[in-house]
Amino acid sequence: MFPKILTIFIILPLLELYVIIEVGAVVGALPTILFVVFTAVAGVFLTKLEGLRTLRRMQQQIMLAQMPAEELVDSVLICVAGVLLLTPGFLTDLLGVLILIPSTRSVFKRWLRYRFSQYMSTKTMATIRSEGL
């Protein structure tokens, strides 16, 4: 758990800062700052559009008396993408945009399903061992 926290809160911001400095050295400080602000504003707009589209699909599923499971996962990923796009930096913006695109979001959904099934199988095995079954 500690390596993941270290990566998220220390290494990722340092990488972002490095990329921003390098881009700023090539194109200048003002264009770099404007681009970071633009990606945040565009990210909010795109996140809102994709979120509303997912909400409509959820409503349709509910009207058909079906559980909107895929749409719930989409909504969580869209929320994560929005946070990433609001975070200043190019790497987080790239990841946020990739999550917002429906075709690439499916890759993230498959990865999440895989991780969740691994987690559940580990928990199930731990429960079986602790109960002596």
Work out the number of other CB atoms within 10 angstroms of the CB of residue 92. Answer: 22
Q: What is the pLDDT of residue 132?
A: 61
Least confident of 18-22, 30-34, 109-113, 126-130: 126-130
Q: What is the pLDDT of residue 133?
A: 57
The candidate with the shortest Cα–Cα distance to 69, out of 19, 126, 109, is 109
Three-state secondary structure call for residue 17:
helix
Q: Taking 90 as the threshold, does the pLDDT of residue 95 lie above it? A: yes
What are the pLDDT digits (tens) for 58-92? Answer: 999 999 999 999 999 999 999 999 999 998 899 99
